[in-house]
Amino acid sequence: MDNSAYPVGFYFSLSFEGEDAAFKEVSGISKELGVEEVAGGGENRFKYRLPTVNASKNLVLKRAIVPTGSKLITWCSDTLDNGLASAITTQDVSVNLLDNEGTVLMKWTFYNAYPINYAVSDLKSQESEIMIETIELAYTYFNIASSS
């Protein structure tokens, strides 16, 4: 079996408002159909498992801190600092899986996303690790598109 035909998970990009942002890790790309168990009338040996609504995890983005401003960080600051005093501006965010030539193999588009958490790794004087910022986004739903 030729493993070169399979995409690798380390070559990806994130696009936000036409701005490409580099991240070291993206997690939370998942969909799950909820299930509700209902007991059948007069049948006590089992329960019916009926589908309910779709559920998704939050999209979690991690990268080295970028000291210069970016549209993504400005959006996070505006949303998180204002709380519910003003309307939350949602955005569509795309994650692209790339091949070794930079061509998009798969694209996940997260609709009506908005930041719900921003965190920075701990400051430690005894260690020389790169500072990591974590951005967590909630979204309504996502679509999957492939190049084929």
User: What are the structural domain ranges in the chain?
Assistant: 3-30+58-146
Residue 126 — very low, low, confident or very high, per pLDDT cuts 50/70/90? confident
Neighbours of 61 (CB within 10 A): 22
pLDDT for residue 80:
92
Given a contact cutoff of 8 angstroms between Cβ atoms, the answer to whether 96 and 104 are in contact is: yes
CATH superfamily assigned to domain 3-30+58-146: Hcp1-like (2.30.110.20)
For the chain, give the mean pLDDT: 86
* CA–CA separation, 144 and 109 (whole Å): 7
CA atoms within 13 A on the CB side of 27: 5
* CA–CA separation, 118 and 4 (whole Å): 36
Pairwise pLDDT comparison (83 vs 53), residue with the higher score: 53
* CA–CA separation, 113 and 63 (whole Å): 18
Burial tier of 142 (Cβ tally within 10 Å: 0-12, 13-18, 19+): buried
Neighbours of 68 (CB within 10 A): 5
Pairwise pLDDT comparison (33 vs 4), residue with the higher score: 33
Highest-pLDDT range among 60-64, 123-127, 134-138 = 134-138
